[in-house]
Amino acid sequence: MNSNTLRQSIPGPAGAIEIAIDLPPADTPVRGVAVICHPHPQHGGTMDNKVAQMLARTFVQLGYRAVRFNFRGTGASEGHWDEGRGEIDDALAVIAAQREPALPLALGGFSFGAYVTSQAAKRLADTGAPAERLVLVGPATQNFEVAPVPADTIVVHGEVDDVVPLTATLNWARPQHLPVIVMPGVGHFFHGQLTLLKSIIVRNWHR
């Protein structure tokens, strides 16, 4: 994301996992740890995807240590694509390695990464160690089983998303009575709208 991004690897369930860490400015107290999941690796998604990087910048602005990572078989991460199952285990491994008991944990994900985020959050909650809050951007509600999420989850979807129709996300959100923030005229990849997307997340985080 920038010259100060720390890149390293950690052990994972399918081999080494490549991660990237971005920190708030030195004069800003770290208020938590945020783990961010990237879009579908079979369609070019990596931790350097522009929306994943935007989520990292957003969390850094909010005072979090932002941790991105590559799913198994992507970039320098070892292993092979596991159709969304092992990728949840990858996320949980990164969370376990980076989470600090004294700091809140936030989770964010884009598209396929939002699906992984929801499922990882559900497992954490089931074990009695829930995340503080979630941010889901363009969640892949049409092709993957996105888990129900807490009521304060921030969900943002593009009105004219041609990869995951808005109706699929509204149908997922409706039984949960979960608000969805719709960005008018915006497609799946938020082209030219990342600054607005960032500001929307920051504003709603503080509410």
pLDDT at 205: 97
pLDDT at 4: 83
In angstroms, the CA 56 to CA 37 distance is: 10
Q: What is the mean pLDDT of residues 154-178?
A: 98
pLDDT at 95: 98
11's tokens: 């052990």
Q: What's the pLDDT tens digit per position in 34-63? A: 999 999 999 999 999 999 999 999 999 999
Q: How many other β-carbons are positioned within 10 Å of the β-carbon of residue 159?
A: 11
Give the global pTM: 0.97
Residue 100 exposed, middle or buried by CB count within 10 Å (0-12, 13-18, 19+) = exposed
* SS3 per-residue string spanning 64-117: EEEEEECCCCCCCCCCCCCCCCHHHHHHHHHHHHHCCCCCCEEEEEECHHHHHH
Q: What is the mean pLDDT of residues 148-172?
A: 98
Cβ within 8 Å of residue 85, ≥6 positions away: none
Angle between helices 194-206 and 50-61 (to 10 degrees): 40
What is the band of 1 on the pLDDT scale with cuts at 50, 70, 90? low
Q: What's the pLDDT tens digit per position in 84-118? A: 999 999 999 999 999 999 999 999 999 999 999 99
pLDDT at 94: 98
pLDDT at 2: 66
Q: Which amino acid is residue 5, in one-letter code?
A: T
Domain 6-206 - what CATH class?
A: alpha beta
pLDDT at 207: 82
In angstroms, the CA 202 to CA 198 distance is: 6
Residue 151 exposed, middle or buried by CB count within 10 Å (0-12, 13-18, 19+) = exposed
**H/E segment holding residue 173:** helix 166-173
Contact 47, 70 (CB under 8 A): yes
pLDDT at 72: 98
Q: What is the mean pLDDT of residues 77-89?
A: 98
Q: What is the mean pLDDT of residues 20-41?
A: 96
Q: What's the pLDDT tens digit per position in 117-154? A: 999 999 999 999 999 999 999 999 999 999 999 999 99
Q: What is the mean pLDDT of residues 180-195?
A: 98
